[in-house]
Each structure stands twice: as structure tokens, then as C-alpha cells.
Amino acid sequence: MKIQQQQCDFLILGSGIAGLTFALKVAAHGRVCIVTKKHRAESNTNYAQGGIAAVTSKEDSFEMHVKDTLEAGAGLCNEDVVRTIIQEGPARIADLIALGMKFTEREVPRSRGAKELDLGREGGHSKRRILHAKDVTGREVERALLAAAATQPNIEISEDHFGIDLITSHKLKLGGPNRCLGAYVFDKKNQRVLTFCARNTLLATGGCGKVYLYTTNPDIATGDGVAMAYRAGAAVANMEFVQFHPTCLYHPKAKSFLISEAVRGEGAVLKTIEGAEFMDSYHPLKSLAPRDVVARAIDSEMKRSGADHVLLDITHRPARFTMERFPNIYATCLQYGIDITKEPIPVVPAAHYQCGGVLTTVDGETEIAGLYAVGEVACTGLHGANRLASNSLLEALVCAHRAAHRVIDHPLPPLKGEIAEWQSGNATNADELVVVSHNWDEIRRLMWDYVGIVRTNKRLQRARKRIENLQAEIQDYYWDFVVTGDLLELRNIATVAELIVLSALQRPESRGLHYNLDFSSPAPEWAQRDTILRKQLS
């Protein structure tokens, strides 16, 4: 295998809203290399439907948004972080609009044609405050940011490049406090491992929905950043809090298609397959209750009746409204033979968002010097035990901006000494790829069955044992054979699955998204206590 070295000032893994925003803000200060696993627009961001929560209307206030966020977070948010992110939101939205982002607007009532930003509503929000581009907000964010990045000669984007491991001073046995020096990156097209040497490295790799059998996330969401940071010795926090979105389209041919919470925000109602509304027996906000409540209610209805889905009904709204407000959802469902203006949508809950992640400050700093993390990969303390809908793109925008200022204002000294090249040992081509696909399926199925919406100690212990065995097997396989994208992803989902299980086992209570039948309620002594895991480095 041929080895190559690349030098850059800023190495960014991931090309969603966090990575691109950071890149644009540091581009005037040095060479920026973005490496991304697939096509540059293929990120979690690209699939965000609902939008970006921010206080932009006179009827709303920072205080109300803070209150909603803290309530959803169930006693585990860091209030200072919540206030910072919410208060800086409007300025970052203005930056995004200045870059070319087009949010949906509406006519100001009684104004003769003046326009204002249209605001959507989602579960847990006491006001309409979701800025959106119809129901394809993430796609529009990606378009605007990628177009802006294309005008910056200092930004280079390498597609089909997969981060293998972070390079650290500890790993290279250089002594002193652990510092990140870049990353080894697998160039899939040319089947070679590159060494990216970087003064600053940003993880912006998104979440880990693919750890579960059913997810709203795209295929790229394999928890790569969390796994890499953990292997490098960084602290990882609150991984037990996996958010299950209540409404993923249920159709044999539909893969991971989300039915936005904004549909419920516009009046859609959850019903059993017999057509009976059921949310009033679970929460006063009914179908617009916080996500964890809705997902558990659906799970319980499905278990009670044996049905494999429930229904989401928006047929009482005018067809024209539904088609204009949700063009992507309307067209996609129609493609599967479901006209959502005339019939209810079959839906199931699915893994959606990782509220924990690499432990960072609100400026994106991790415990390793030179290593930053922003977006879903990071745990800043904004989401606590349950994320308020549409707060995540807001967090990515604000924290990417703050991280950019942090690296510019506090530059690290240049890298010294030689960085060792990637060692591929005596690897030969793998001939039993069935091992990879079998373990991949097994992890996702066991996480769904044992570590899903409702957990028990027994199920978690069972999952821990299975994952330990799988880890050992993958480790053997990994070192015996040449790297492939599939193998790297398998290694990462196994690591992240283990972190989720270990974190869940450490929390002896039910709080927010972590619901364990053996502990039916929150334990006061666990409020404000993060679950932190660190790998013992040898």
C-alpha cells in the first residue's frame, strides 16, 4: 500500500453544517482540508427536514426557548451552554442568510406584500420558532454552504476519504500532554492510506443512527468521530441518550425516510391502525408531546396490539396546504403509493439522534489539545437527557463559529518531528467478507432488541456480553486484513454500541431518553451527572 503525507492547518472530518461552517470561518487563516466519506453533500445535515430553532419573532423570547430546552433535557442540560447557544442563535442565522441560505418566507398579515421568515412548530416548543426551507431545510443548508466553500481557494474537499484513526502524540510516544496531530485517512478510490498532518483537527462526523437496525439516518451515520476520539483517549459523555424519532415511514421499500415532526406541528394526529387516537392517554400535549414520550407511547401501543406500525393522519388539513408545506414528504410518500392528503401515513419510531458524544466545551474543545468536535458528534451539554427538536442545527452553527474563533485566537505551536506513517502490518486481502456483513447485522439487531426505546438491566447485560465477543472478533479481523470502508464502519459501530451499553448500565435511573424498566423514575442524585467514559491508554 502506498503512503502519502498531506500538511494542513485545519483538518476537518465531515462535510455537514458543522464542518463547512467551521471551514468557512477559518479559511482566511490557512490551508483547510475537508475529508468526507462519500459525496460532499452526503451528510446527516442534508437529510434534516424540520429546520433550525432560533428566537426571531416578537412573540418569542430567549427565556422561553431556554425553558423549553431545559424541560426537554430533563435535568441534565448545562444551563450556561443552553443560554449561550440560544442567545447567539439569531446572529448565526443572519450569517447563514448572508451566505445565501434561503429560508421559507410568508407574507406579513395586512402588510401589502411584505415578507417575514415563516416559523414552524415542533414538539416541546412553546412557540413557533423553527426556521425552515419547506421540508428540505438540510438540503438547502448544504447547498448554500457548499456553494460558499467552492469560492474559497484555501478549502479543499476530498470525497470518498474515510478517517481511520486520529494521530496523537500519545500514540507516537512523543511525551507531554496528549495532542492531536492529524489523522490517518483511507482514500477509497485509490485504496491507499494517507497521513494528514494538521495543527488543528475538527471532528464533524455527525451521529450514529446506523448502530440500530431501524434509523432515520443515512448510511454514513456510523459514529466514526465518537469511536475515533474514544480510541485516542478523549472523554465521551452521555451516550445512553439516543433519541428515537417517533415517525419514520413504514414501508417495505422505504429506507430510513423521516416524516418530520413539523407535520404534527401542523396538526397531524397519531392513531392506531384501527384509527383510534391514543396520545391523549399519554400526555396533555397529545401528538405534540416531547419526542421521548411520543416514541414510548407508540412502542407501547405497538406492543399492546401486536401491530407493526401506527398511523399519522394529516388528511383533515387542506390538500393544497400539505402539498406546499411538505413537498418532499408528499412526493416521497406518493412514490410508495401513499397520498398523504387522502390517507394516513404508516409510521414507526426509529433511531434518530445521538444526544451524547465527545465531551466538549461550548467552543468545541475536547480533552485532547488540537482536537475539536462540533455538531452531533459532540456533547456540549445543550441537549441533556433529551434534545429539543431542531436545536441541533442551531448548536452546530453556534459552536462551529465559536470553535473557529477559539483556534484562531489561541493558535497551537507548529508540529515538530516526523509523524510515523500508517502501519498495515502483514495484511492480505480479506476473503471472508461474510464476517463483516454478519457482525454488522448482529450489532444493529441486538442494539434494537436490547438497547432500544425501553431497556432493562438484563437486556443491557446480555447486549454487553454479545458486544464484547463481537469486539474481540472484529479486532482479530481488523488486524489480519487490509482496511476497507465496510470494516472501518463495522469497527466504529461496534465501539459506539459498546459505549451506549456501558453508559446505559452506569445510569441507575430512567431519565429523558434513557428508559429502564428496572428503575421507573429519575433519581435526584443523578440529575446534573454526566456519564463519562474514557479509554485507558496503554
**109-to-32, 115, 257, 325, 418 alpha-carbon distances in Å:** 45, 9, 34, 18, 65
Q: Which span (80-88, 389-397, 445-453, 488-496) binds ligand SIN, by CB under 6 A?
A: 389-397
- Considering the candidates 40, 199, 291, 402, report the single residue annotated as catalytic: 291
Beta carbon of residue 180, minimum distance to ligand SIN (angstroms, whole number):
29
CA distances from 50 to 59, 380, 425 (A): 20, 22, 46
Q: Can residue 248 be called a binding residue for ligand SIN (CB under 6 A)?
A: no
Q: Which of 287, 392, 439, 503 binds ligand SIN (CB under 6 A)?
A: 392
Angle ∠(247,253,256) on CA atoms, nearest 5:
40
In 10 A of CB 322, how many CB atoms?
22
| Residue numbers 408-467 binding ligand SIN by CB under 6 A | none
Instruction: Pick from 21, 36, 49, 516 the residue near ligand SIN by CB under 6 A.
Output: 49
Answer for which of 42, 224, 261, 395 binds ligand SIN (CB under 6 A) is 261
Give the binding range for ligand SIN (CB under 6 A) out of 147-155, 179-187, 257-265, 469-477: 257-265
Binding mask 333-362 for ligand SIN (x = CB under 6 A): --------------------x---------
Separation CA 13–CA 149 (nearest Å): 15
Say whether residue 389 binds ligand SIN (CB under 6 A): yes
Report, in Å, the least distance between residue 262 CB and ligand SIN.
5
- HSE of 222, CA atoms in CB hemisphere, 13 A: 23
Rounded to a whole number of angstroms, the minimum distance from the CB of residue 64 to ligand SIN is 18
The Cβ-side half-sphere exposure at 488, using a 13 Å CA radius, reads 21
Kindly write down the DSSP assignment for every residue of 400-426, as one continuous string: HHHHHHHHHHSPPPPP-SPPPPPP-TT
Interacting residue with ligand SIN among 69, 260, 495, 510 (CB under 6 A): 260
Compute the C-alpha angle 425/431/436, nearest 5°.
85
Which residue in 205, 390, 516, 531 binds ligand SIN (CB under 6 A)? 390
**Do 81 and 73 contact (CB within 8 A), yes or no?**
no
Report the nearest approach of ligand SIN to the CB of residue 523 (Å).
Answer: 28
- 386 binding ligand SIN? (CB under 6 A): no
**Interface with ligand SIN, residue 313, by CB under 6 A:** no
Answer yes or no: 304 catalytic.
no
* Selected range binding ligand SIN among 259-267, 400-408, 477-485, 504-512, rule: CB under 6 A: 259-267
CA distance 151 to 155: 9
Please work out the total of residues on this chain that contact ligand SIN, with binding judged by CB under 6 A. 9
Work out how close the CB of 46 gets to ligand SIN at its nearest, in angstroms, rounded to a whole number: 13
Name the residue nearer to ligand SIN (CB basis): 132 or 511. 132
**In angstroms, what CA-CA distances link 497 with 237, 448, 461, 489, 537?**
14, 11, 13, 12, 20
Q: For residue 137, which amino acid is it?
A: T
The three-class DSSP label of residue 45 is helix
Residue 21 engages ligand SIN in binding (rule: CB under 6 A): no
How, if at all, do strands 192-203 and 371-373 pair? parallel
Residue positions annotated with a catalytic role:
291
For binding to ligand SIN (CB under 6 A), which residues are involved?
A: 49-50, 260-262, 353, 389-390, 392
